[in-house]
Amino acid sequence: MYIDQLIETKLEATEIMGEFNENPIVAQLIQGGKLVEYSAHVIPEASRTELFTHGLLVVGDAAGLVINNGITLRGMDMAIASGVAAAETVKYAMEKIDFSKKSLSHYETLLKQDFVLRDMNTFKRSPQFLKNARLYSFYPDLACGLFHRLNAVKGPKKRVINEILEETRGHKASMILDMIRGLRAL
């Protein structure tokens, strides 16, 4: 969860995991389990500043090299690859005995050759898209509402497409926009 969303919704950070654990599906899976440790971590998504300057290379989380594409949250692979690239760059700079910003820009070249900066670029719209509150309230409710319409034993049923059209009444424009944004972002 984003910290600003946490503040906006006034949710207690300490309660989020508890609520997740109480979800009937999750509760069933962890039944009889024992909590062995409690931890918290901030993931610095989309906060990339300069990756290098005179005498300095920034890697992994510190460089904001994290990708959230809505399904997977990647950081470990980016940390490893940027660490390798940083080591290669240090080796390169040592050979020239030049640790200037210009020399260390070799780091960026390596990250562009490898997947790190290419993937960051591919998913650059993803953080903004995933901040859309409709993804976490409106769409799950819509899915539940639709299945309720299709399965509830209550009066005659319409054709599926008509049930969908009815359930999404008044929201189609924003849904189309979300879909376009989603396709572009993810």
Partner 1 sequence: MKISIEERLGLVSFEVDQEGHIKVDTTLCSQCEDKSCLNFCPAKRFTLENGELKHDYEGCLECGSCKLACSKGAVDFNYPKGGYGVYYRYG
Figure out which of the listed residues 4, 49, 72, 183 binds partner 1, where binding follows CB under 8 A.
Answer: 4
Torsion 125-127-129-130 (CA) sign: positive
Q: Per rule CB under 8 A, is residue 73 in the interface with partner 1?
A: no
State the nearest-atom distance from the C-beta of 31 to partner 1, in Å.
9
Instruction: Tell me which amino acid residue 23 is.
Output: N
Q: Per rule CB under 8 A, is residue 37 in the interface with partner 1?
A: yes
**Which lies closer to partner 1 via its Cβ, residue 36 or residue 183?**
36
Interacting stretch for partner 1, rule CB under 8 A, among 11-19, 80-88, 101-109, 144-152? 11-19
Q: Per rule CB under 8 A, is residue 18 in the interface with partner 1?
A: yes
Token representation of residue 174: 């924003």
Q: Per rule CB under 8 A, is residue 39 in the interface with partner 1?
A: yes
Cα–Cα distance for residue pair 43/61, rounded to 1 Å: 7
Token representation of residue 2: 């984003």
Residue 17: CB atoms within 10 Å:
12
CA geometry: angle 147, 153, 155, nearest 5 deg: 105
Figure out which of the listed residues 29, 38, 121, 155 binds partner 1, where binding follows CB under 8 A.
Answer: 38
- Residue 57 contacts residue 91 (beta carbons within 8 Å): no
State the nearest-atom distance from the C-beta of 36 to partner 1, in Å.
6
Q: Per rule CB under 8 A, is residue 161 in the interface with partner 1?
A: no
